[in-house]
Amino acid sequence: MIEPNLDLLVPAYVREFEPYIPSKPDPELQKLYGCDHLYRLNNNENPLGPPPGAQDVIRRFPPPRGAVYPSGDSYYLRQEIAACHGMEPDQVLVGNGANEVIAFVIKAFCGQGDNIITADKTFAVYEWVAVFSGIEARVIPLKEERFDDRAMLNSIDAATKVIFLCNPNNPTGTYWSRETLIAFLDEVGGRQIVVVDEAYFEFVEAGDYPDGMSLINDYPNLIVFRTFSKMYGIAGLRIGYLAGDLKVVDMIRRTCVVYSVNGIAQEAALACLRDETGHIRRTRDLVREGKEFLCAEMGAMGLPVNAGEGNYLIVKLPGSDTLAYRKLMHEGIMIRPMTGFRYPNHIRVTLAKMDAMEAFVTALKKILA
């Protein structure tokens, strides 16, 4: 048997890329760490789950329809999203989670020798998708925990095609105001595509936070990402979308894989948009309560906290975040260590129901004692 020569067959940028290793399923983690329960505070999931209408869609989905391909372009969902924002349906593209729509954009605009601009201490998938696609990722340090607009602008050259902004930022919770974002878009001047990832849009309560969708008509180079994974609680169904100028989205559509979004996800997302039960209000109340509680408890423990917008906060520990992760797992608490975000000795904690918040505080006190 002759084995393939992977050094010749696989591009260097793929061979050299460190793969992301997802965590094991919860039952396996419980066996590994010897705990009889597990509070998931690592992935910014909504502990309330989906809105009631989406839950009903999931329960009632007819099994025979599992044999039928879904709408290849999420037709009805795109109609609804467009109607919500006063757009044309063809200005919207739906993908299998945020990772897929990120790949759509990079594939559409970037070729060999091009680069994207992103930041450190932000959602890492922009950088990952670029790097394993053979595209240079220029990673700009944050300034006072915020995106450094001037440094990003100064990093642009003739090969820069896309700039990624996570607003509010994951994991810092900081955000650009409407004024800052508009000033940035004015300086870019349409020469590059600017992606504003608003995955946590529905959690933001700050009055000066911009709605990226409202800026698309004035800035045709602007693309906005949204997701149903966070506020709407259907992360397990993997569905997100992008919106932009009609001509720009038409280019991106050429890179899309049709039928990548399953039928249950499409119908559940439609139900999320049509929800009138106060799901967003209830979730915001839960997040606010958890944030106030943890900020007070961490302050009493002398631990610095970065608590901005979004359903998460960051805690600075007196030692290793990866060691804290392992110790907390033995206590049935799963958090996100931040070394992978270039944020050593910090952990990100999802804001959840009070029983989980209290369990986290108790476990943290125990491992730090």
pLDDT at res. 139:
97
Contact 320, 345 (CB under 8 A): yes
Residue 192: DSSP 8-state = S
pLDDT reported for residue 21: 83
DSSP letters along 327-339, please? HHHHTTEE-EESG
Positive or negative: CA dihedral 87, 216, 168, 336: positive
User: What does CATH list as the number for 6-49+278-368?
Assistant: 3.90.1150.10
Both tokens of residue 131?
Answer: 């790097």
Residue 208 has what pLDDT?
97
pLDDT tens readout for residues 120-132: 999 999 999 999 9
Phi and psi for 318 in degrees, rounded to 5?
-80, 0
Domain extents in the chain: 6-49+278-368, 52-273
Read off the pTM: 0.95
The Cα–Cα gap between 129 and 124 comes to: 9
Helix (H) or strand (E) holding 40: strand 39-40
User: Residues of the chain whose pLDDT is less than 50?
Assistant: none
Spatial strand order of the sheet with 346-350 comes to 305-306, 312-316, 346-350, 336-337
Residue with tokens 């260097």: 12
Look at residue 98 in the predicted model and tell me its pLDDT: 85
CA atoms within 13 A on the CB side of 48: 20
CATH fold label, 52-273: Aspartate Aminotransferase; domain 2 (3.40.640)
Query: Helix, strand or coil for residue 223?
Result: strand
